[in-house]
Amino acid sequence: DQQVKQNSPSLSVQEGRISILNCDYTNSMFDYFLWYKKYPAEGPTFLISISSIKDKNEDGRFTVFLNKSAKHLSLHIVPSQPGDSAVYFCAASAFGYGGSQGNLIFGKGTKLSVKP
């Protein structure tokens, strides 16, 4: 039973346009959410996070929105660049989840392709 779902396996966007990647979660105990970017055969790199006390967090071209009532978060990339082409993973954690703080539950990822 997936607690973090990324329902779009892939997304294709034109360079300069907005990329919107979506993530849904089922566990209402989740209170911290993260986005990671991953290139093939490499480890994921942290992009941006948001805690449940906020509904928006911005860092440069990246903005994460959190809608707690809908159990939904999204990552906006504006403007999209070819170098953004990668797999993006959404992750969530809850204080004390699994008997330990800090453990992350990952979605299956969305492959973003940004075309020049």
Partner 1 sequence: DGGITQSPKYLFRKEGQNVTLSCEQNLNHDAMYWYRQDPGQGLRLIYYSQIVNDFQKGDIAEGYSVSREKKESFPLTVTSAQKNPTAFYLCASSWQGSYNEQFFGPGTRLTVL
- When asked if residue 1 is in the footprint of partner 1 (CB under 8 A), the reply is no
Q: How much of the chain is helix, strand and coil, in % rounded to 5?
A: 5, 50, 45
- When asked if residue 106 is in the footprint of partner 1 (CB under 8 A), the reply is yes
Burial of 62 (0-12, 13-18, 19+ CB in 10 A): middle
- When asked if residue 43 is in the footprint of partner 1 (CB under 8 A), the reply is yes
| Site residue total, partner 1 (CB under 8 A) | 29
- When asked if residue 46 is in the footprint of partner 1 (CB under 8 A), the reply is yes
- When asked if residue 49 is in the footprint of partner 1 (CB under 8 A), the reply is yes
- When asked if residue 109 is in the footprint of partner 1 (CB under 8 A), the reply is yes
The least distance separating partner 1 from the CB of residue 72, rounded to whole angstroms, comes to 17
Reading phi first (left if > 0) and then psi (alpha if -120 to 50, else beta), residue 59 is in beta
Nearest of 82, 88, 66 to residue 114 by alpha carbon: 82
- When asked if residue 37 is in the footprint of partner 1 (CB under 8 A), the reply is no
Angstrom distance (rounded) from CA 79 to CA 8: 20
- When asked if residue 108 is in the footprint of partner 1 (CB under 8 A), the reply is yes
Contact criterion met (CB below 8 Å) for 92 and 104: yes
Q: Which residues bind partner 1 (CB under 8 A)?
A: 4, 9, 31-32, 34, 36, 41-46, 49, 51, 89, 93, 95-96, 98-104, 106-109
